[in-house]
Structures are given as structure tokens and as C-alpha cells.
Amino acid sequence: MKLLKIGYQFAQVVLSSYWAKMARGGRRFQIVALLGLGFLCGAYNQQVPAQAGISGSATVHGKVLNAAGEPVVGATVHLQQKGTSKAETVADAKGEYTFAGLASGSYVLIAEVAGVQSHDAALTISSLHSQYELDLRLVNPSTNGDKSHKGSTASAAAMEFADNPNFAVAGVTDWTAAGGHGSDTSLRTSEALTRETLTLKPGAVGPGTTAIPADGAAARTSEEKLRTAVTDAPRDFEANHRLGEFYLRQGRYPEAATLLKTAFEINPRDFDNEYDLAQACENVGDLTQARNHVQQLLAEHDAADLHRLAGSIDEKLGDPLTAVHEYEQAVRMDPSEQNYFEWGSELLYHRAVWQAQAVFEQGVKGFPKSARMLTALGAALFAGALYDDAANRLCEASDLNPADPDPYTFMGKIEIAAPNPLACVREKLERFVRLQPDNALANYFYAMALWKENGRSTDPQTMQRIEAMLTKAVSVDPKCAEAYLQLGNLDASKREFEKATSLYSKAIEVSPQLSEAHYRLGVAYERIGEKEKAKLEFQKHDEIEKQTAAEVLRQRKDVKQFVIALPPNPASPPLN
């Protein structure tokens, strides 16, 4: 095959160089030459897996994995593009496969071996010269796609969805912008909100344990008593476990890990202690040990809490595909608020936007009083460009606990990024200011919502109110660069460019990488005749934008995107 390929390439070069000679040599010479080329093409195509119509420069590479996430050698991988013949290859000794020379378009991949198949994995190649990573997981028919564990006693009946989200995560690929909608500004806002959604997670609490005071006199007293117990009996299991658990709840992970490890050495059969030790190892970065402890516990106790913890560890180990299956299994075994939230957050983080919406919506049905579930749903809806729906959900979240700043922060950010004013947002942000008048963000977001609602061209009284809130924001928080920027814009709109330059400069002093402040300062300098200063600011703006774009691209490449296996008749909204 290699010789035929070389011959084919050589024939292309020779025949193209002699095309003019063929034209002069008459019809007979042309026919002979074309027959020769046709022979080589036919011989070459017979040796290459059929990929008619799939000619391009993109490559898809990945692994075939079994239900336990282990590589599978010798599995057949099929690739199909609509309107073309099927191509196939065989996984090598490492369980890896590759398809090269793919053009842009939509493909479906499936792996099979010994009668066991993976889910169909839909992949969209959006540009040439791209590398796509897509792992295919074989599904044990007896588990209907659920990941099974050694020693598992869980039944699918342990979890019944009233409206089961109808999708399956089949693999991962590089970032393609699929699953995100709207302008790049909206997309960046969505990505920022996704990261903030992850921080809404509460601290993990192990089964059978209770929270210990985090600070204050009570905490100091508790720590003293617990430390004394360890000092008096350094090889006492209970003393080491209780102090280790105390440090774990306070986030003092290295101290916790040391004590919990000692307790584990004394009594390796205690479930609660090993669970706590796995959490401590995870948080100090000893992920291999953390996973080993979780796997040991799962071999004896197939519990939802363990699957959730396993998902967290797998994500940190760079295996999001296994992680999302663990989170899903946790929900099936225990449809708790925390498990729904973890599963939905994992989907949203890896840009499975519609699927995250489906999970969060199901979570809201089960836990309608969960403000963080509603907030997360708002972030997922915004990621899908459903701006008004996102705003409504965030407003509902703010009503559940009006003192919680998180829903207001989310709605303030989507109000700024959305193309039009959003229903209910201004009213809720006004309440935010009323409840927390000394909160810089409350003043800033409400000022921006009021300004946007009035089209940035409004009566002097409203403008004074906006200016007063922005001024309050910077007085409360002198590092609120965005408020300085908007105050500068206010002065610029009144053609008071000298004052504007001072405010733009203050914004840059507080946040040197705020590119818009550099641009606006350049415009203000132009208006007052400072051409050289203006040129310098425009250059800084361009440099920062270039650096920011590169960093955003790097971050996007670092986060693998889930590939979703579609059901035979997918329901609306469409899955990516």
C-alpha cells in the first residue's frame, strides 16, 4: 500500500508537469496517460479504508475503553459521514485508534468488540487542520449504559427519573464552540459564570458525620480538647479520627491527612475514616491515593457518596468522561440536591449546555427551594442564549433568599452581556441595593441595569442617580475598576473629556489589564488633542486584547468538550 501511495503521488507530479506536452501530443497520448493515472488511483483506493468524500486535513484520535475505563485492544471502530461510505479501523495494542484526512462535517463513530458496542458518538468537525480527541466507551448490555463496579449491589430501580434526561455522554473532544451561542462577549461571560457555578458547591460532608464549628471560641476549645486527646493517646483510633475530621471540615487538609492516615493504619476497616481520608488526599493533591481509597470503599459499599467523590477525583485526574458517569450514577442511586448539582455542573463545565439544562431542570423539580440549583440553571440557560429564561430563573433564586448575593451577581453579569434589557432584573437589583446599600457590586450592577433600560440616553435626574450609585461603588470598594470606567463614560457622554481621562486612568491603575479602559482613554486623549498619548493607549489596548484572546483560547483548549450520543428521536431542545 505504501508503494502504491508513493506511485500515486509521483504520478500526480509527473502528469501535472507534462500536461502541456499531453495537450500538444494529441488525443491518443492523453488517453494513455489518463488511463495510467486511473489505474493508480483505483489501486490506491482499494488499499485504503473506504472514505469516499471524507478528504480533508482533520484527525480524530482516541481510545476504546471498557465499562471500567480500561483500554480495549482489537476493537473495531467505525466512522460514518452522511452521504459517504463507512471507514473503519482497529484499536492498537494501547486501545488507541486514529482517523486522518477528514473534512469538515458531521460524523458518527461507534466501537465494537465481541458483540459489545459503544454508544453512537456524534462529532462535528468545524474546521480543517484540527485535532480531535474522542474516547469511546463500550457499554455492557446488562447495565443499559450504567457503569458497573466490582461488588456493586445497586439496582437501576434505586433511582427513577420522572422525566429522565434523554442523553448519554459518549466521549470527549477539543473545544469546538458547539453548545455555546451568541457573541464572543456573551460566550466569555458564560464561561466566567460556569466557573462561578462550580464555586457554589458546598464543602463535602462524609456519611454519618456532622459539621464542626469553623472558627471562633467554640472551635478553638474543640481543637484544644481534640489535640489533648491525641497527645494523651497518640495511637488511639478515635482520637486521631476526630481531630483529623475536625481539620478536614476547617479546610486544613495537610493536618487532616496526617491524622486520618494514622487512624487508617490503626483501623483500616472503618468506613467513615477512610472516606474522610480519601477527601483529605484529594484536597492535598494526592489523587492516586484518593482514588485507591475510593475504589477500595466501592468494592465493599456501593454508595452514591462514593460515586460522587470518585467523580470529583476523576475530573482532577483529567478523566472527565469517567467523572460524568460517576456523577450520573450517584444521582441514579441517590437523587439528592447535591448529586444533581454535581452532575449538572460537570456537564456545564464541559460545554454540554443543553444536557446541563436538562439535569438542572430536573433538580429544580425535585428541590424547588434550592437557590443554588436555580442559579446554576440560570447559568446554563444563559449559555444556551436563552437570556430571558435565564433571568427569570435567577430572579426566582434571589426570591428564595434575598440576602444571598450570588443570584444578584449572576443576573447583573448577564444583564450587561445580554443584547437587550432582561425582564425582572432591574427590579431585583434595586432590592439588592436596598438590602445591601454598602455593597459595591449591588450599586454597580443596579446602575448598569438602570442605564441599559433607559438606553443610555435618559433624563438628568436618572443620570444623577446612576452617577451616585457608581460613585458609591468606588467609595465602598476603591478597586472596583469597572465602576471607574463607567464613571468615565458618563463624563465622556457629557463631553467632559478632561474629567473622563482622570477616571479612565484610575480604572487602569486599579486594573491594568482592563482593555476597554485603555481604549476609552485613548479616545478621550484624542478629543483633547493628546495624539501621542492616544496612540500609546490604543497600542496597549490592542496588546491586551491579543494576550486575552490567546489566554481564552488556551483555557478553552484545556477543557475537553463532551460528545453526546443522541437518542433515536431526540427531543427538543436539540442536543449538541
d(CA 496, CA 311): 56
Q: Candidates 2.60.40.180, 1.10.260.40, 3.10.100.10, 3.40.228.10; correct CATH number of 58-179?
A: 2.60.40.180
- The answer to whether 304 touches 333, Cβ cutoff 8 Å, is yes
Question: Among 556, 158, 142, which Cα is nearest to 339's?
Answer: 158
As a whole number, mean pLDDT of residues 217-242 equals 90
Helices (H), 528-572: 531-558
Ramachandran quadrant class, 377 (left: phi over 0; alpha: psi -120 to 50; beta: rest):
alpha
Q: What angle do CA 320, 554, 58 make, to 5 degrees?
A: 75
Q: Is the pLDDT of residue 475 over 80?
A: yes
Q: Is the pLDDT of residue 26 over 80?
A: no
User: Which of 329, 389, 324, 395 has its CA nearest to residue 356?
Assistant: 324
Model confidence over 108-129: pLDDT tens digits? Answer: 888 888 778 887 777 777 654 4
Task: Check whether 181 has a pLDDT greater than 60.
Answer: no
**Per-residue model confidence as pLDDT tens digits over 363-386:** 999 999 999 999 999 999 999 999
Tens digit of pLDDT for each residue in 326-346? Answer: 999 999 999 999 999 999 999
For residue 516, with 0-12 CB atoms within 10 Å meaning exposed, 13-18 middle and 19 or more buried, which class applies? Answer: middle
Residue 538, all three cell numbers: 490604543
- pLDDT, position 74: 85
Query: Closest Cα partner for 436 from 403, 483, 395, 394?
Result: 403
> Domain spans of the chain?
2-47, 58-179, 216-290
Class of domain 216-290: mainly alpha
Three-state DSSP state, 65? strand
Query: pLDDT digits over 236-251, tens only?
Result: 999 999 999 999 999 9
State yes or no: pLDDT of 145 exceeds 60. Answer: no
pLDDT at residue number 286 = 97
Report pLDDT for 524: 97
- Is the pLDDT at 13 greater than 50? The verdict is no
In the predicted model, what is the mean pLDDT of residues 75-95? 84
Render 487-537 in DSSP notation, one character per residue.
HHHHHHHTT-HHHHHHHHHHHHHH-TT-HHHHHHHHHHHHHTT-HHHHHHH
Query: What are 439-466's pLDDT values in tens digits?
Result: 999 999 999 999 998 875 668 888 999 9
Above pLDDT 90, what percent of the chain? 59
Q: What CA–CA distance (Å, rounded) separates 460 from 196?
A: 36
* Average pLDDT of the residues in 180-196: 82
Cell numbers linked to 249? 471540615
Which grid cell sits at 72?
480495549
The answer to whether 313 and 282 are in contact (CB under 8 A) is: yes
* Residue 51 vs residue 384, higher pLDDT: 384
Assess whether pLDDT exceeds 80 at residue 38. no
Which range is least confidently modeled, 2-16, 340-354, 538-552? 2-16
Give the rounded percent of residues in the chain with a pLDDT score beyond 70: 76
Q: Render pLDDT for 419-435 as a digit per residue (tens, 0 to 9).
A: 999 989 999 999 999 99
Prediction pTM value: 0.71
Phi, psi of 422 (to 5 degrees): -105, 140
Compute the average pLDDT of residues 385-404: 96
Query: What is residue 183's predicted lDDT score, i.e. its pLDDT?
Result: 61
Q: Reply yes or no on whether the pLDDT at 207 is more than 50.
A: no
The overall average pLDDT reported for the chain is 81
Q: What DSSP element (H or E) covers 107?
A: strand 105-113
552 vs 17 pLDDT, higher one: 552
Q: How far is Cα 76 from Cα 338, in angstroms, rounded to an integer?
A: 39
Tell me: the pLDDT tens digits for 148-161? 333 333 333 333 33
Give the Cα-Cα-Cα angle 319, 563, 184 (nearest 5 degrees). Answer: 100
Average pLDDT over residues 529-543: 97
C-alpha cell at 208: 454519618
Task: Specify the residue for cell string 479612565.
Answer: 504
Q: What pLDDT, on the 0 to 100 scale, is given for residue 127?
A: 55
Is the pLDDT at 350 greater than 50? The verdict is yes
Q: What sign has the CA pseudo-torsion 502, 508, 514, 518? A: positive
How much is the pLDDT for 457? 62
Angle at 34 between CA 31 and CA 36, to 5 degrees: 110
Burial of 342 (0-12, 13-18, 19+ CB in 10 A): buried
